[in-house]
Structure 1
């Protein structure tokens, strides 16, 4: 996977945030399926574009999401997560009426870690392997 350096005068950087977001629907309901899954992916890609982030890997299971983004330090990690969760939660609740019965759709929790010395390909393979786990 070719990664691009970001240039922001006067610095050049390459930062890959491994966002293993425990983006779980409330009570870890298995709801990320079918049309909702397709719409979530569209919204995640749209939000990444707005933030100037590059999605390196995205894996969506019925009850949680894994996301690897390359981002500039202009965005604090918690702000990136807030933007993804806030936008997707707000829009899918407007577009899918059955979600409006829930006080909120996503849990408040998430896990955030940087890629450190692990290659982006290794992280991507690890996320893809999540499909085979129980």
Structure 2
């Protein structure tokens, strides 16, 4: 139905862990968030713009998008966030910057949302352990 934002090839468990100078880490999160008023706005040109914006912003912060889908009224992402970033600071950055970039790219959105508030307050987050395959399947469906 919808194409994924990014699809990553599988690795074995030893290769999945990331390294810093004194740290091995594997921090994966399932994140869901919605546009303001849960409007069904994520389609066509907005959808392609958001996918591109999310990929760029995640690359800037060193966050890996493992799986992601943009539904008409919400976003599902399975991401690997480095331990130097808290989930809340990353989400503030992702939602804030993506909203500004969307309003810059699509000026007509200001009539639907006003005041450059594209996303609703809050988000859902769940840490992903060994059930990563289950979460990926859920996001794909």
Provide Cα deviations, 1:14-44, integer angstroms capped at 9, x if missing partner. 111222x22x222111110001100100010
Match of 1:66 in 2: 76
2: distance between equivalents of 1:87 and 1:15? 23
Give the counterpart of 1:116 among 117, 129, 141: 129
Structure 1 stretches of 4+ moved >4 Å: none
2: distance between equivalents of 1:41 and 1:13? 26
**Structure 1 position 97, deviation (Å):** 1.5
Match of 2:58 in 1: 48
Query: How many correspondences in the alignment?
Result: 126
TM-score (norm 1): 0.88
Give the counterpart of 1:28 among 20, 38, 41: 38
2: distance between equivalents of 1:97 and 1:10? 46
2: distance between equivalents of 1:94 and 1:71? 27
1: distance between equivalents of 2:120 and 2:130? 30
| Unaligned ranges ≥5, structure 2 | 1-9
State the secondary structure of the residue aligned to 2:124.
coil
